[in-house]
Amino acid sequence: MDKPILSLADAKRVAAAAAAEALANAWKVSIAVVDDGGHLLYLEREHDTRFGSVETAIAKAHMAAALQIPSKVSEDAVTSGRLIHLALPGVIPAEGGVPLSRNGVVIGAIGISGVRSFQDGQIAAAGMNAL
């Protein structure tokens, strides 16, 4: 059985679609794409984006790959009172991290940081849809 993977070309295509969405809205963000083990494959940061958004984007992508859920699920849990999500290792309870799948198998994730959570999520969705 062959396991699907996220290639560097895939990661660049996902990031390009996310970057296009950010640019269309004049949003300056960091974009991180990780493989299914949470290892960074691709990173880009728009000029003048806060440098703190780099680690946050990577963490959102890592969490989405590790838990195989969008980071918004964790954000929604926290806002509804399930504070245990704040204690989970590596969890960023903020929208903007989305798993990337091929044939129903999670092959990586994208993480966005730099604007409001729901905007990060919009950008991540654009990237995900390019896969």
Report the number of distinct structural domains present in the chain. Answer: 1
- Per the domain annotation, does 90 fall within a domain? yes
CB atoms within 10 A of CB 68: 13
- Per the domain annotation, does 87 fall within a domain? yes
Q: Which helix (H) or strand (E) holds 56?
A: helix 52-67
The predicted pLDDT at position 88 comes to 86
The predicted pLDDT at position 93 comes to 92
Distance of alpha carbon 63 from alpha carbon 27, whole angstroms:
23
pTM higher than 0.85: yes
- What CATH number is attached to the domain comprising 49? 3.30.450.150
- Per the domain annotation, does 3 fall within a domain? no
Side chain identity at 6, as an amino acid letter?
Answer: L
- Per the domain annotation, does 2 fall within a domain? no
- Per the domain annotation, does 39 fall within a domain? yes
- Per the domain annotation, does 117 fall within a domain? yes
- Per the domain annotation, does 125 fall within a domain? yes
The predicted pLDDT at position 36 comes to 97
Helix, strand, coil percentages (3-state) for the chain, rounded to 5, are 45, 20, 35
The predicted pLDDT at position 2 comes to 86
pLDDT string in tens for the chain (131-residue length): 689 999 999 999 999 999 999 999 999 999 999 999 999 999 999 999 999 999 999 999 999 999 999 999 999 999 999 999 888 888 889 999 999 999 999 999 999 999 999 999 999 999 999 99
Q: In what order do the strands lie in the sheet with 105-113?
A: 40-45, 30-35, 105-113, 97-102
- Per the domain annotation, does 105 fall within a domain? yes
The predicted pLDDT at position 1 comes to 66
Side chain identity at 72, as an amino acid letter?
Answer: K
Residue 97's domain spans which residues? 8-129
